[in-house]
Structure 1
């Protein structure tokens, strides 16, 4: 317990997330949600906030992506070695599931920031000798298995995480639920408020929901109904037994199935979306709830390429702790900014050559696109008219680098990845296109710093935030995006990047994308380099100074945690 002693007596906020991206070699994340949680933890350490972070150990990771000869994604486990970077803590807690005691042990990862502060991250593990063989696997695969497996993971995270904090000696005042996966934590808190029936006034409730709401903060990220965790009440009964009266559960979480998002909404006193537009979308999905907005941010020190970071250190020594100082980045010398970007771009070009054999060039504009490969993200929108794409490239050459994972059960997402192989073959000799397998934090950092143009084409209003564009902007990469998520707030046309505005919205986006690429974006790159570099500096100064996780965490601390 000695490793925990520096944290135990002042920590008052616990942040729960199914996934947290701590380092590229710790495979406890699948994508944007986990990377956001990791940036949250990094900024909490920077700002010395009294926080502890709780997640699952996920020994087998999420997906290690390989590609077949035909471009199909092959899903493999992505294991890592917990003993290399974490150590078990001397406490275990048990939860009854399906009539068996399932034991949970937290492991500690100490996340330190460059100026010396640190936050504890607890990774919950069920691979213990005390557990039945099937229960040892609950914390193996992130988002793996069937509904029963996912429910058990949610139980371990929410209920197990709460009990583990108490067993370790933490005294938590505020619980922050990052997405609905941890909503059962609020249910456990509610269960603990049960009044004796003798004390119950006529028509009164057995439970004090107000006490729970005072303790819980909920951030929802999913603007798509299909993205919410939902479980049959028969399954809840089978796994948890008579944990809470079913009538009470249905009032809180929905009549037909237990909706984890609805449960979190009903038991949290502060609820927010991750961008202004996303909060508006969530209010329409759940009318009657007060949904605030705290727009996401990214950790500037983590995502800025070292060549550019060296320029910042020379001019603004405290920029990593106070990213708002990047507001003055527009005063950097044009040549210095361009040269720093070319270092990052050359590294990406080299990586593409080594990984795929595709030859790209540092003097040709490079379009980057990397995200979860699923239909509503529309990652193939750029390739909607291959003939026109080739016509554009013959006059104004460009190149494209793609990356991203599809969920193992997302068949349309798998087909999207396979379609890129056909596009690459069709465009060969005219438009160099590469799909880089194994998308992770390290590859993501290379792409957001080495591209010239960052493309994002979700179907509005289904983008929650879209933090990859913020990371690109930190590196002077210009966003070219549909007006959705955070980009509505960061977009200044022709200054920080460009909007893709189809007519009608959504349906006309493909034509609008190609029109602006041909008539505005590529001509600027080739014909007015000084203006392009000016836009790069505007992107860093206006977006980097605002859309960072230091600003985000200061807002959470003052608006959500101290309410």
Structure 2
């Protein structure tokens, strides 16, 4: 039965408690232990029952309890303290951003992502990508960076996981009730819900805009589940990563085009804007930005592209091909054919932007390709991932050495306040001082970890392990009860795990390359390890497989099956429905954090960072963040353990066998003995590793450092470039586009005709040489190019490796379009067989990088033979 009218009923709070509503609707409570405790005081059981959702808590709590709280002087004092703390936080003018010289006016950053992991009660995320996005927004708030988030508000979000009797993953979707979440529906001046329209074939789709307040940072989420839309369009914001490619394309159009229009409707698109695309899902925002600039500023596509690109930042998070969305040309034509015409492009012209090879009419349209072509700054999320990404996308920059391809890296981090336990929080405050929360990237500050008494650190960590064991028992009993388990099975679940045993945590998405079952490779050896009466070990697993990932589901089933066997029943547990609450319990209580991805397929990984900040030690293959963390640590102060040495294997089966053997060896010979070696009743060697791990890694692997890095390297630079291109009626943007057009036409005439170097016999390290090059530039001037000597050692294949570039200067014109360039005193810094060559690159003051696709000219073998002075 459909209602004839709808209305919302809000909690009836006694006057003295009205401040609870303000606290509930700002997600800063989610990383403020004092405010969390305030809500828990109202009703501890209900707080757990509502999934840590304060809005739902206030809506479902018994009115008598509210009246009692309103008359409780202690509770009211606690409420007043929490409100005062929030007000101080929000009104703070002297933030890191302002101290760093940032200008809040005109430097708005719009951060687009398909998912955001904020709290377990707002289910609009699937995994690490969303958690990273949520942590990014929280740190931006803490640092005062003027940033807004943009995403989609999913009616069902991501699936809830449960296992059937056979241990096979099942998916269950639950509707989100937006009116019982900390969400606010944005409204226009007329009081009606604010909505935007996006064109789809034969109709317009409307989406309304909700806001989640995350400290100082608003997150705007689009909701297409409106009665004015067709049923299939209402499903646009139904499920995250659900549906077929057509649904994914429709969602990504709504995210990029609709998200941009939502910011306009909200009045949040001042110039100069900076747009940060968190993965390729949001790449259509770049096209919408270009379209709007064309219309509002009367620019051509090429001119608007230069302006828009200046403020575009793109972060890619996966080296796995399946993680990059591609769409068939005919599907893109159906949905964006008219849009291409609005951009002044043919359909083929639009498709070319998303193809590695624009001339290949059969190639699909790639969202990552589109983002890489349009963004002024692109990066991976760890040092190793940056290398892998440059190798993966090198076709976009033919002729450019792989190490110079303009894709950098900003290694991920985590928002410590969201993940560190209350007990560790208090310990850090006691020995590091309160400033550790505001300055988690301060290396000197973290040296205070070494002053924490061993007894105190160990006692704190043991309490967290005990809580993890209790949490796991409760969770396991719930799983079994829902499955109709017997009383005997429930009783057995109450006794699983040992609060004093070495506890290893493994929690992440279950998919082939993450190798969740590597530690299960030899069940008999594992059983002996886990059941050693003197030195017991226990394993807690959690994680979801994508609904269409059959291999991932088989991995889940393998863990679940083993957990039921008598040899493992008390020592190995699989926790269903991995979410932020499970993740928090695991990273706060585990002794060892296990990570076994197949190198180099882990872009970063952040769960180990969360565990590290809580005192757990990482045991991982050298992939993602752990590769650079391990390589950068002091070998005299061990911070954990590395499985292997970062080898690359052509045979995956061989890699699995060797790395499983290495893992078992580390556990048997090093990890377990160190944990149970207790001189004076304390594991001194273990505690030394814990302190070294925290002191070494915590200053780097936090999102405060990440957001600072993006701000200084990308946001502020992008904003200034956008301002510069907008000067004098977009004169510089127009000039840059015209110059590039002329450059493209002239480049076929650019070549290095001859190269001469003053080489006579061997050189000694530290000696230098002079180099001359005769270069034909056609209609270009020497000021429009950068001519460089490219010199370095040769690898066994005769290719230049460890090479560097030295600029050459024009010294003489040699006729029409022909010029002599010289480099003096080019140094040779290393011994060994060397080589050199000369290259020509475009040069312009408004180019963010000198590498334009296809525009690089190298000296060929014939250049050496023509060492003439003519």
Which TM class, normalised by the smaller chain length? over 0.9
* Equivalent residue runs for 1:497-516 within 5 Å: 497-501=640-644, 505=649, 506-507=655-656, 508-516=658-666
The verdict on how the C-alpha distance between 1:121 and 1:277 changes in structure 2, with shifts beyond 3 A counting, is: same
Offset of residue 239 of structure 1: 2.3
Offset of residue 425 of structure 1: 2.9
Match of 1:269 in 2: 376
Offset of residue 10 of structure 1: 6.0
Offset of residue 454 of structure 1: 0.2
Q: C-alpha separation between the residues in 2 aligned to 1:215 and 1:511?
A: 48
Equivalent residues of 2:527, 2:568 under 8 A apart: no
Equivalent residues of 2:379, 2:407 under 8 A apart: yes
Deviates more, 1:183-192 or 1:298-307: 183-192
Equivalent residues of 2:450, 2:691 under 8 A apart: yes
Q: 2:586 aligns with which of 447, 469, 474?
A: 447
Q: 1:18 aligns with which of 110, 114, 120?
A: 114
Q: 1:312 aligns with which of 428, 439, 448?
A: 428
Deviates more, 1:123-132 or 1:4-13: 4-13
Q: Say yes or no: does 1:561 pair with 2:715.
A: yes
Equivalent residues of 2:502, 2:538 under 8 A apart: yes
Deviates more, 1:548-557 or 1:527-536: 527-536
Match of 2:522 in 1: 385
Equivalent residues of 1:480, 1:499 under 8 A apart: yes
Equivalent residues of 2:562, 2:568 under 8 A apart: no
Q: 2:206 aligns with which of 85, 103, 121?
A: 103
Q: Provide Cα deviations, 1:151-182, integer angstroms capped at 9, x if missing partner.
A: 11101111100011011101251000000000
The verdict on how the C-alpha distance between 1:199 and 1:191 changes in structure 2, with shifts beyond 3 A counting, is: closer
Q: Say yes or no: does 1:479 pair with 2:629.
A: no
Q: Say yes or no: does 1:293 pair with 2:409.
A: yes
Equivalent residues of 2:414, 2:703 under 8 A apart: yes
Q: Say yes or no: does 1:136 pair with 2:136.
A: no
The verdict on how the C-alpha distance between 1:222 and 1:274 changes in structure 2, with shifts beyond 3 A counting, is: same
Q: Provide Cα deviations, 1:381-417, integer angstroms capped at 9, x if missing partner.
A: 0001111112333443200000001111111111111
Q: C-alpha separation between the residues in 1 aligned to 2:299 and 2:420?
A: 59
Offset of residue 92 of structure 1: 1.4
Match of 1:190 in 2: 290
- Larger Cα Rg: Structure 1 or Structure 2? 2
Q: Say yes or no: does 1:74 pair with 2:148.
A: no
Match of 1:369 in 2: 506
Match of 2:54 in 1: none
* Equivalent residue runs for 1:43-62 within 5 Å: 43-62=139-158
Equivalent residue of 1:53, what SS? Answer: strand
Q: Provide Cα deviations, 1:31-52, integer angstroms capped at 9, x if missing partner.
A: 0000000100100110111000
Equivalent residues of 1:393, 1:431 under 8 A apart: no
Equivalent residues of 1:249, 1:258 under 8 A apart: no
Offset of residue 195 of structure 1: 9.2
* Equivalent residue runs for 1:376-525 within 5 Å: 376-395=513-532, 396-426=535-565, 428=567, 432-491=571-630, 492=633, 495-501=638-644, 505=649, 506-507=655-656, 508-525=658-675
Q: C-alpha separation between the residues in 2 aligned to 1:105 and 1:95?
A: 11
Q: C-alpha separation between the residues in 2 aligned to 1:86 and 1:430?
A: 42
Offset of residue 9 of structure 1: 6.4
Equivalent residues of 2:496, 2:569 under 8 A apart: no
The verdict on how the C-alpha distance between 1:321 and 1:462 changes in structure 2, with shifts beyond 3 A counting, is: same
The verdict on how the C-alpha distance between 1:98 and 1:207 changes in structure 2, with shifts beyond 3 A counting, is: farther
Q: 1:89 aligns with which of 186, 208, 214?
A: 186
Equivalent residue of 2:237, what SS? Answer: coil
Q: 2:276 aligns with which of 176, 185, 200?
A: 176
Match of 2:258 in 1: 160
Equivalent residues of 1:60, 1:80 under 8 A apart: yes
Q: Say yes or no: does 1:240 pair with 2:336.
A: yes
Match of 2:496 in 1: 359
Higher relative contact order (CA 8 A, sep 6+): 1
Equivalent residue of 1:170, what SS? Answer: coil
The verdict on how the C-alpha distance between 1:504 and 1:513 changes in structure 2, with shifts beyond 3 A counting, is: farther
Q: 2:688 aligns with which of 534, 542, 546?
A: 534
Q: C-alpha separation between the residues in 1 aligned to 2:548 and 2:530?
A: 36
Stretches of structure 1 that go unaligned for 5 or more consecutive residues are 113-117
Stretches of structure 2 that go unaligned for 5 or more consecutive residues are 1-24, 27-89, 94-103, 188-193, 341-345, 398-404, 477-492, 650-654, 718-870
Deviates more, 1:478-487 or 1:287-296: 287-296
Q: Provide Cα deviations, 1:489-528, integer angstroms capped at 9, x if missing partner.
A: 2224662100000777534211111111111111111115
Q: C-alpha separation between the residues in 2 aligned to 1:187 and 1:88?
A: 27
Equivalent residue of 1:242, what SS? Answer: helix
Q: C-alpha separation between the residues in 2 aligned to 1:532 and 1:132?
A: 60
Match of 1:217 in 2: 313
Offset of residue 543 of structure 1: 1.3
Root mean square deviation of aligned Cα: 2.3
Match of 1:330 in 2: 450
The verdict on how the C-alpha distance between 1:78 and 1:199 changes in structure 2, with shifts beyond 3 A counting, is: closer
The verdict on how the C-alpha distance between 1:10 and 1:320 changes in structure 2, with shifts beyond 3 A counting, is: farther
Q: C-alpha separation between the residues in 2 aligned to 1:199 and 1:103?
A: 28
Q: C-alpha separation between the residues in 2 aligned to 1:430 and 1:82?
A: 40
Q: Provide Cα deviations, 1:456-489, integer angstroms capped at 9, x if missing partner.
A: 0000000000100000000110000000100012
Q: C-alpha separation between the residues in 2 aligned to 1:328 and 1:428?
A: 43
Q: C-alpha separation between the residues in 2 aligned to 1:322 and 1:82?
A: 35
Match of 1:115 in 2: none
Equivalent residue of 2:339, what SS? Answer: coil
Q: C-alpha separation between the residues in 2 aligned to 1:145 and 1:102?
A: 18
Offset of residue 207 of structure 1: 5.7
Q: What is the aligned residue count?
A: 551
Q: C-alpha separation between the residues in 1 aligned to 2:415 and 2:663?
A: 29
Q: C-alpha separation between the residues in 2 aligned to 1:345 and 1:92?
A: 48
The verdict on how the C-alpha distance between 1:210 and 1:69 changes in structure 2, with shifts beyond 3 A counting, is: same
Equivalent residue of 1:372, what SS? Answer: coil
